[in-house]
Amino acid sequence: MTASTAETLLSVEDLKCQFDVSKPFLNRVLEREPKRWLKAVDGVSFSIKKGETFALVGESGCGKSTVARLVVGLYDPTDGHIYFDGKDVHNIKSNAEIQTLRRRFQMIFQDPFASLNPRWRVDRIVAEPIKVFGLMSDEKKIKERVAELLTQVGLSPADGSKWPHEFSGGQRQRICIARALANNPEFLVCDEPTSALDVSVQAQILNLMKDLQDTLGLTYLFISHDLAVVRHMANRVGVMYLGRIVEIADSKTLFEEPKHPYTRMLLATIPDITMSGKEKVIMKGEVPNPITPPPGCTFHPRCPLANERCKREAPALIAVSGGQSVSCHAIEEGRTA
Protein backbone atom coordinates (compact mmCIF):
# COMPACT_ATOMS: atom_id res chain seq x y z
CA MET A 1 0.00 0.00 0.00
CA THR A 2 1.27 3.45 -0.86
CA ALA A 3 -0.56 4.94 2.05
CA SER A 4 2.40 6.64 3.69
CA THR A 5 3.07 8.79 0.66
CA ALA A 6 -0.57 9.49 -0.09
CA GLU A 7 -2.00 12.92 0.47
CA THR A 8 -4.29 13.89 3.29
CA LEU A 9 -7.98 13.87 2.41
CA LEU A 10 -9.50 14.96 5.68
CA SER A 11 -8.05 16.61 8.71
CA VAL A 12 -9.71 17.95 11.82
CA GLU A 13 -8.01 20.34 14.19
CA ASP A 14 -8.87 20.89 17.81
CA LEU A 15 -12.49 19.99 17.17
CA LYS A 16 -14.86 20.73 20.04
CA CYS A 17 -18.55 20.18 20.49
CA GLN A 18 -20.54 20.81 23.63
CA PHE A 19 -24.20 20.27 24.29
CA ASP A 20 -26.43 22.34 26.54
CA VAL A 21 -27.79 19.88 29.09
CA SER A 22 -29.18 22.48 31.50
CA LYS A 23 -32.51 22.07 33.14
CA PRO A 24 -35.33 24.19 31.69
CA PHE A 25 -34.91 27.93 32.31
CA LEU A 26 -37.50 28.20 35.08
CA ASN A 27 -36.12 25.27 37.07
CA ARG A 28 -32.67 26.75 36.75
CA VAL A 29 -33.78 30.07 38.14
CA LEU A 30 -35.76 28.49 40.97
CA GLU A 31 -33.04 26.03 41.90
CA ARG A 32 -30.29 28.63 41.35
CA GLU A 33 -28.41 26.32 39.07
CA PRO A 34 -25.99 27.56 36.44
CA LYS A 35 -26.17 26.40 32.84
CA ARG A 36 -24.62 22.97 32.39
CA TRP A 37 -22.60 21.90 29.39
CA LEU A 38 -21.57 18.48 28.30
CA LYS A 39 -18.28 18.47 26.42
CA ALA A 40 -18.96 15.57 24.06
CA VAL A 41 -15.87 16.29 21.97
CA ASP A 42 -13.16 18.26 23.66
CA GLY A 43 -10.27 19.13 21.36
CA VAL A 44 -9.88 16.28 18.89
CA SER A 45 -7.33 16.37 16.05
CA PHE A 46 -6.48 13.75 13.45
CA SER A 47 -5.98 13.42 9.74
CA ILE A 48 -6.83 10.71 7.24
CA LYS A 49 -4.90 9.97 4.07
CA LYS A 50 -6.55 9.14 0.78
CA GLY A 51 -7.47 5.49 0.48
CA GLU A 52 -6.86 4.80 4.16
CA THR A 53 -9.09 3.74 7.00
CA PHE A 54 -8.83 5.72 10.20
CA ALA A 55 -10.72 4.27 13.15
CA LEU A 56 -11.99 5.84 16.33
CA VAL A 57 -12.50 3.41 19.16
CA GLY A 58 -13.66 3.85 22.74
CA GLU A 59 -16.41 3.01 25.18
CA SER A 60 -19.98 4.22 25.00
CA GLY A 61 -20.33 7.98 25.36
CA CYS A 62 -16.72 8.88 24.62
CA GLY A 63 -17.81 11.03 21.67
CA LYS A 64 -17.21 8.84 18.62
CA SER A 65 -20.60 9.42 16.99
CA THR A 66 -20.40 13.12 17.75
CA VAL A 67 -17.10 13.30 15.84
CA ALA A 68 -18.74 11.43 12.94
CA ARG A 69 -21.66 13.82 12.90
CA LEU A 70 -19.39 16.85 13.06
CA VAL A 71 -17.34 15.55 10.14
CA VAL A 72 -20.35 15.06 7.88
CA GLY A 73 -21.87 18.35 8.98
CA LEU A 74 -24.86 17.02 10.94
CA TYR A 75 -23.62 19.02 13.94
CA ASP A 76 -21.81 22.35 13.98
CA PRO A 77 -18.62 22.39 16.00
CA THR A 78 -18.38 24.68 19.01
CA ASP A 79 -14.78 25.26 18.01
CA GLY A 80 -12.10 23.90 15.71
CA HIS A 81 -11.69 23.23 12.02
CA ILE A 82 -12.42 20.51 9.53
CA TYR A 83 -10.40 20.50 6.31
CA PHE A 84 -11.46 18.41 3.36
CA ASP A 85 -8.97 18.27 0.52
CA GLY A 86 -7.21 21.24 2.09
CA LYS A 87 -10.32 23.44 2.30
CA ASP A 88 -11.85 24.58 5.58
CA VAL A 89 -15.38 23.25 5.17
CA HIS A 90 -16.94 25.94 7.35
CA ASN A 91 -15.33 28.67 5.32
CA ILE A 92 -16.87 27.78 2.02
CA LYS A 93 -19.30 30.43 0.95
CA SER A 94 -20.55 29.43 -2.47
CA ASN A 95 -23.56 27.13 -2.46
CA ALA A 96 -22.38 25.24 -5.50
CA GLU A 97 -19.12 24.43 -3.80
CA ILE A 98 -20.91 23.23 -0.64
CA GLN A 99 -23.07 20.95 -2.80
CA THR A 100 -20.03 19.48 -4.53
CA LEU A 101 -18.36 18.92 -1.21
CA ARG A 102 -21.40 17.26 0.33
CA ARG A 103 -21.56 14.84 -2.53
CA ARG A 104 -18.02 13.68 -1.80
CA PHE A 105 -18.89 12.60 1.79
CA GLN A 106 -21.40 10.01 2.85
CA MET A 107 -22.35 8.40 6.11
CA ILE A 108 -23.39 4.86 7.06
CA PHE A 109 -25.12 4.40 10.38
CA GLN A 110 -25.26 1.61 12.94
CA ASP A 111 -28.92 0.86 12.61
CA PRO A 112 -29.82 -0.36 9.13
CA PHE A 113 -33.42 -0.73 10.30
CA ALA A 114 -33.97 2.88 11.27
CA SER A 115 -32.12 4.46 8.38
CA LEU A 116 -34.29 3.11 5.55
CA ASN A 117 -37.69 4.57 4.81
CA PRO A 118 -40.07 1.60 5.27
CA ARG A 119 -42.58 3.02 2.79
CA TRP A 120 -40.15 3.27 -0.12
CA ARG A 121 -39.09 0.46 -2.36
CA VAL A 122 -35.37 -0.27 -2.43
CA ASP A 123 -34.76 1.22 -5.89
CA ARG A 124 -36.29 4.52 -4.80
CA ILE A 125 -34.16 4.51 -1.63
CA VAL A 126 -30.96 3.94 -3.57
CA ALA A 127 -31.88 6.44 -6.29
CA GLU A 128 -32.77 9.21 -3.87
CA PRO A 129 -29.30 10.77 -3.47
CA ILE A 130 -28.84 10.71 -7.24
CA LYS A 131 -32.03 12.72 -7.63
CA VAL A 132 -31.27 15.05 -4.73
CA PHE A 133 -27.98 16.04 -6.27
CA GLY A 134 -29.46 16.08 -9.76
CA LEU A 135 -26.53 14.19 -11.21
CA MET A 136 -28.69 12.28 -13.64
CA SER A 137 -32.10 13.07 -14.93
CA ASP A 138 -32.73 10.32 -17.44
CA GLU A 139 -34.91 7.75 -15.63
CA LYS A 140 -33.45 4.90 -17.63
CA LYS A 141 -29.90 5.89 -16.72
CA ILE A 142 -30.87 6.16 -13.07
CA LYS A 143 -32.38 2.71 -13.23
CA GLU A 144 -29.21 1.31 -14.70
CA ARG A 145 -27.12 3.01 -12.05
CA VAL A 146 -29.32 1.57 -9.27
CA ALA A 147 -28.97 -1.90 -10.73
CA GLU A 148 -25.21 -1.44 -10.90
CA LEU A 149 -25.09 -0.27 -7.27
CA LEU A 150 -27.19 -3.19 -6.02
CA THR A 151 -24.91 -5.62 -7.82
CA GLN A 152 -21.85 -3.88 -6.42
CA VAL A 153 -23.02 -4.50 -2.84
CA GLY A 154 -23.90 -8.14 -3.49
CA LEU A 155 -27.64 -7.82 -4.03
CA SER A 156 -29.45 -8.42 -7.29
CA PRO A 157 -31.05 -5.74 -9.49
CA ALA A 158 -34.38 -7.51 -8.95
CA ASP A 159 -34.15 -6.66 -5.24
CA GLY A 160 -34.88 -3.06 -6.23
CA SER A 161 -38.60 -3.72 -6.40
CA LYS A 162 -38.77 -5.09 -2.84
CA TRP A 163 -39.51 -3.30 0.44
CA PRO A 164 -36.90 -2.86 3.21
CA HIS A 165 -38.76 -5.18 5.60
CA GLU A 166 -38.24 -8.05 3.18
CA PHE A 167 -34.52 -7.99 3.90
CA SER A 168 -32.38 -9.28 6.75
CA GLY A 169 -30.18 -6.93 8.81
CA GLY A 170 -27.08 -7.58 6.75
CA GLN A 171 -28.94 -7.08 3.48
CA ARG A 172 -30.36 -3.81 4.77
CA GLN A 173 -26.87 -2.63 5.60
CA ARG A 174 -25.94 -3.49 2.00
CA ILE A 175 -28.82 -1.29 0.82
CA CYS A 176 -27.50 1.54 3.02
CA ILE A 177 -24.06 1.10 1.48
CA ALA A 178 -25.49 1.10 -2.04
CA ARG A 179 -27.31 4.34 -1.26
CA ALA A 180 -24.17 5.87 0.22
CA LEU A 181 -22.22 4.98 -2.93
CA ALA A 182 -24.84 6.37 -5.32
CA ASN A 183 -23.03 9.63 -6.04
CA ASN A 184 -19.52 8.19 -6.20
CA PRO A 185 -18.33 9.67 -2.92
CA GLU A 186 -14.65 9.49 -1.99
CA PHE A 187 -15.08 9.50 1.73
CA LEU A 188 -17.37 7.38 3.89
CA VAL A 189 -18.00 7.96 7.56
CA CYS A 190 -19.11 4.62 9.00
CA ASP A 191 -20.54 4.80 12.51
CA GLU A 192 -20.60 1.27 13.96
CA PRO A 193 -21.73 -0.17 10.61
CA THR A 194 -21.77 -3.75 11.87
CA SER A 195 -22.55 -3.40 15.57
CA ALA A 196 -26.17 -4.40 15.09
CA LEU A 197 -25.28 -7.45 13.00
CA ASP A 198 -24.38 -11.05 13.79
CA VAL A 199 -20.70 -11.93 13.42
CA SER A 200 -21.20 -14.03 10.30
CA VAL A 201 -23.10 -11.16 8.70
CA GLN A 202 -20.56 -8.68 10.01
CA ALA A 203 -17.87 -10.64 8.15
CA GLN A 204 -19.82 -10.23 4.90
CA ILE A 205 -20.15 -6.48 5.39
CA LEU A 206 -16.53 -5.96 6.46
CA ASN A 207 -15.34 -7.96 3.44
CA LEU A 208 -17.61 -5.90 1.20
CA MET A 209 -16.28 -2.65 2.66
CA LYS A 210 -12.70 -3.74 2.05
CA ASP A 211 -13.48 -4.81 -1.52
CA LEU A 212 -15.18 -1.50 -2.25
CA GLN A 213 -12.24 0.37 -0.79
CA ASP A 214 -9.89 -1.53 -3.10
CA THR A 215 -11.95 -1.10 -6.24
CA LEU A 216 -13.21 2.44 -5.69
CA GLY A 217 -10.28 3.87 -3.72
CA LEU A 218 -12.53 4.94 -0.85
CA THR A 219 -11.33 6.60 2.33
CA TYR A 220 -13.04 5.59 5.58
CA LEU A 221 -13.56 7.12 8.98
CA PHE A 222 -14.55 3.92 10.75
CA ILE A 223 -16.13 4.03 14.17
CA SER A 224 -16.47 1.03 16.41
CA HIS A 225 -16.26 -0.08 19.99
CA ASP A 226 -14.99 -3.50 18.89
CA LEU A 227 -11.22 -3.54 19.03
CA ALA A 228 -10.78 -6.71 16.99
CA VAL A 229 -12.90 -5.25 14.19
CA VAL A 230 -10.86 -2.05 14.30
CA ARG A 231 -7.63 -4.03 14.12
CA HIS A 232 -8.95 -5.82 11.08
CA MET A 233 -10.14 -2.71 9.24
CA ALA A 234 -7.95 0.26 10.13
CA ASN A 235 -4.58 1.60 9.05
CA ARG A 236 -4.55 4.13 11.86
CA VAL A 237 -6.47 4.23 15.12
CA GLY A 238 -7.40 6.90 17.64
CA VAL A 239 -8.49 5.80 21.11
CA MET A 240 -11.04 8.15 22.71
CA TYR A 241 -11.90 8.63 26.35
CA LEU A 242 -14.41 11.23 27.54
CA GLY A 243 -14.27 13.41 24.44
CA ARG A 244 -10.52 13.31 23.85
CA ILE A 245 -8.08 11.22 21.92
CA VAL A 246 -5.74 9.66 24.47
CA GLU A 247 -3.62 7.71 22.02
CA ILE A 248 -3.24 7.67 18.27
CA ALA A 249 -1.02 5.38 16.23
CA ASP A 250 -0.74 3.04 13.28
CA SER A 251 -2.98 0.08 13.87
CA LYS A 252 -0.13 -2.39 14.23
CA THR A 253 1.76 -0.20 16.70
CA LEU A 254 -1.32 0.53 18.74
CA PHE A 255 -2.23 -3.11 19.12
CA GLU A 256 1.29 -4.41 19.58
CA GLU A 257 2.82 -1.61 21.63
CA PRO A 258 0.00 0.27 23.31
CA LYS A 259 1.33 3.03 25.55
CA HIS A 260 -1.55 4.80 27.25
CA PRO A 261 -2.82 3.04 30.42
CA TYR A 262 -6.39 3.23 29.09
CA THR A 263 -5.45 1.65 25.76
CA ARG A 264 -3.63 -1.10 27.56
CA MET A 265 -6.57 -1.87 29.79
CA LEU A 266 -8.99 -1.69 26.90
CA LEU A 267 -6.92 -4.23 24.98
CA ALA A 268 -6.91 -6.49 28.02
CA THR A 269 -10.72 -6.54 28.08
CA ILE A 270 -10.98 -8.26 24.70
CA PRO A 271 -12.25 -11.76 25.36
CA ASP A 272 -9.55 -14.25 24.49
CA ILE A 273 -11.09 -16.30 21.75
CA THR A 274 -7.90 -18.25 21.09
CA MET A 275 -8.08 -19.49 24.70
CA SER A 276 -4.39 -19.02 25.28
CA GLY A 277 -5.18 -19.01 28.99
CA LYS A 278 -3.20 -15.87 29.78
CA GLU A 279 -3.95 -14.03 33.01
CA LYS A 280 -6.31 -11.07 32.64
CA VAL A 281 -6.02 -7.59 34.08
CA ILE A 282 -9.49 -6.21 34.61
CA MET A 283 -10.07 -2.50 34.44
CA LYS A 284 -11.68 -1.13 37.55
CA GLY A 285 -14.57 1.33 37.69
CA GLU A 286 -16.76 2.74 34.96
CA VAL A 287 -16.66 5.76 32.67
CA PRO A 288 -17.56 8.78 34.83
CA ASN A 289 -20.47 11.11 34.16
CA PRO A 290 -19.35 13.34 31.27
CA ILE A 291 -21.20 16.37 32.68
CA THR A 292 -18.88 16.40 35.68
CA PRO A 293 -15.66 14.85 34.41
CA PRO A 294 -12.84 14.34 36.91
CA PRO A 295 -10.28 17.18 36.99
CA GLY A 296 -6.83 16.81 35.48
CA CYS A 297 -6.46 13.64 33.45
CA THR A 298 -10.05 12.38 33.21
CA PHE A 299 -8.82 8.79 33.41
CA HIS A 300 -7.13 9.24 36.80
CA PRO A 301 -9.81 7.60 39.00
CA ARG A 302 -9.31 4.35 37.08
CA CYS A 303 -5.60 4.60 36.36
CA PRO A 304 -3.07 2.46 38.21
CA LEU A 305 -0.31 5.02 37.47
CA ALA A 306 -2.17 8.14 38.62
CA ASN A 307 -0.35 10.56 40.92
CA GLU A 308 -1.01 14.06 42.29
CA ARG A 309 -0.10 15.80 39.05
CA CYS A 310 -2.62 13.65 37.16
CA LYS A 311 -5.41 14.89 39.45
CA ARG A 312 -4.59 18.55 38.73
CA GLU A 313 -3.24 18.81 35.23
CA ALA A 314 -4.66 17.48 31.98
CA PRO A 315 -1.94 15.85 29.88
CA ALA A 316 -1.38 17.00 26.29
CA LEU A 317 -1.18 14.65 23.33
CA ILE A 318 2.56 14.28 22.74
CA ALA A 319 4.30 12.42 19.93
CA VAL A 320 6.37 9.56 21.33
CA SER A 321 7.71 7.95 18.18
CA GLY A 322 7.04 7.54 14.49
CA GLY A 323 3.37 8.44 14.23
CA GLN A 324 2.39 7.42 17.77
CA SER A 325 1.10 10.10 20.13
CA VAL A 326 -0.04 9.63 23.71
CA SER A 327 -1.55 11.95 26.30
CA CYS A 328 -0.27 10.75 29.64
CA HIS A 329 2.00 12.28 32.26
CA ALA A 330 3.44 8.91 33.23
CA ILE A 331 4.63 8.30 29.66
CA GLU A 332 5.98 11.83 29.36
CA GLU A 333 7.84 11.53 32.67
CA GLY A 334 9.13 8.08 31.78
CA ARG A 335 7.35 6.55 34.78
CA THR A 336 6.38 3.57 32.69
CA ALA A 337 8.02 1.23 30.25
Partner 1 sequence: MTNDTQTPLLSVRNLRIEFPTRRGVLVAIDDVSFDISKGEVLGVVGESGAGKSLTGAAIIGLLEPPGRIADGQILLQGEPIHNLPHAQMRKIRGRKIAMIFQDPLTSLNPLFTVGQQIIETILTHKDISEKQARQRAIDLLTEVGIPGPEQRVDHYPHQFSGGMRQRVVIALALCADPELIIADEPTTALDVSVQAQIIALLKKLCKEHQTAVMLVTHDMGVIAEVADRVAVMYAGRLAEIGPVKELVQNPQHPYTKGLMGSIPVLGADIKRLVQIDGSMPRLTSIPKGCAFNPRCKQVFDRCREERPNLIATGKTHAACWLYDNQDKNQDNQGNDQDSQDKREQTA
Ligand X SMILES: Nc1ncnc2c1ncn2[C@@H]1O[C@H](COP(=O)(O)OP(=O)(O)OP(=O)(O)O)[C@@H](O)[C@H]1O
Q: Which residues bind partner 1 (CB under 8 A)?
A: 59-60, 168-171, 198-204, 206-207, 210, 225-229, 231-232, 255, 265-275, 280, 282-284, 286-287
CA distances from 296 to 41, 124, 327 (A): 16, 51, 12
Enumerate the β-bridge partners of residue 187. 105, 219
Both ends of the chain: CA-CA distance in Å?
A: 31
**How far is CA 249 from its chain centroid?**
15
Does 202 bind Mg ion (CB under 5 A)? Our answer is no
Q: Which option in Mg ion, partner 1, ligand X, none does residue 202 bind, with CB closer than 5 to 8 A by kind?
A: partner 1
Nearer to ligand X, 58 or 164 (CB): 58
Distance CA 208, CA 302 (A): 38
Strand residues in 183-263 grouped as ranges (E): 187-191, 219-224, 236-241, 244-250
The listed partner (ligand X, Mg ion, ligand SF4, none) that binds 145, CB under 5 to 8 Å by sort, is none
User: With contacts defined by CB under 6 A, how many residues of the chain interact with ligand X?
Assistant: 14
Q: Could you say which DSSP state residue 10 is in?
A: E
Q: Is 300 in the site for ligand SF4 (CB under 6 A)?
A: yes
Q: What single-letter amino acid sits at 259?
A: K
Residues 178-217, mask of contacts with ligand X (x by CB under 6 A): ----------------------------------------
Phi-psi domain of 48 (left: phi exceeds 0; alpha: psi -120 through 50; beta: other)? beta
Residues 42-81 as x/- pattern, contact with ligand X by CB under 6 A: ----------------x-xxxxxxx---------------
Selected range binding ligand SF4 among 53-61, 204-212, 232-240, 300-308, rule: CB under 6 A:
300-308
Query: Among residues 10, 12, 15, 40, which is the contact residue for ligand X, using CB under 6 A?
Result: 40
Gap between the Cα atoms of 61 and 46, Å rounded: 19
List residues near ligand SF4 by CB under 6 A: 261, 297, 299-300, 303, 305-306, 310, 315, 328-330
